[in-house]
Homo-oligomer: A and B are copies of this chain.
Amino acid sequence: MESEITTEQKIMDAAEHVFLDEGFSGARMQHIADRAGINKAMLHYYFRSKDKLFELVFRHKMKQFVPQIEAALNEANMTFIEKIDRFVLAYLTMLQKNPRLPIFILSTIHRNPELANSIDIKLGAEIIRLMEIEIKEGRIKKVDTHQFMLTLVGMCLFPFIARPIFSKTFDLTPKQYDQLLAERRVHAVQYARAILIGE
């Protein structure tokens, strides 16, 4: 039974937590060490530098952030709206488990746009292609594909990005906001249907 958590893994977990909370320049190696229950020297023993450690964390998180779109959209025997429902569900489920992921990824890339280069371009092209087929076949309205995708993804991500400011503006308790997030799937899909089909 090798169920023991390795030091390396403890560091990665701690690093993820601290970097997601504080960002690269706000994070302190000391905090990560404390959280991992070891000392700073060990961080450098396992991962050479703060930069290397951050890069690993970022890449790992980036994988979570982008890819699962594909699985949802490529299922056969589904209407486009059903595919969207799957996509929204998958995305929101992941976000519930990683609520601070979006702002971490987006603010990191904002300050370091080259980091977006690891993204696979084919994915976007494939989505656009799928939508254009739906439009051509007359199963959805003639919407601008990019504008719609921006809206769809925004409907999933934005509630997590804007949580603190929205809670305050609309005077919602944490419990109420969680409820809002739990119900987000239904509304996002309903809105998508209104846009793509009209009801």
Residues of A within 8 A of B (CB): 21-26, 66, 100, 103, 105-107, 109-111, 113, 116-117, 119, 121, 123-125, 128, 143-144, 146-151, 153-155, 157-159, 161-162, 164-172, 180, 183-184, 187-188, 191, 194-195, 198-199
- Contact between A170 and B158, CB atoms less than 8 A apart: no
For the complex of A and B, the 4 pairs showing the least CB-CB separation, nearest first, are: A154-B158, A25-B26, A107-B107, A124-B169
Residue of A100, A128, A169, A183 ringed by the most chain B CB atoms within 10 A: A169
Q: Which residues of B contact A121 (CB under 8 A)?
A: 168-169, 171
- Contact between B168 and A162, CB atoms less than 8 A apart: no
8 Å CB contact of A187 from B106, B144, B155: B144
Cα distance A143–B188 when bound, in Å?
Answer: 12
- Contact between A171 and B26, CB atoms less than 8 A apart: no
Q: Which residues of B contact A162 (CB under 8 A)?
A: 106, 150, 153-154, 157
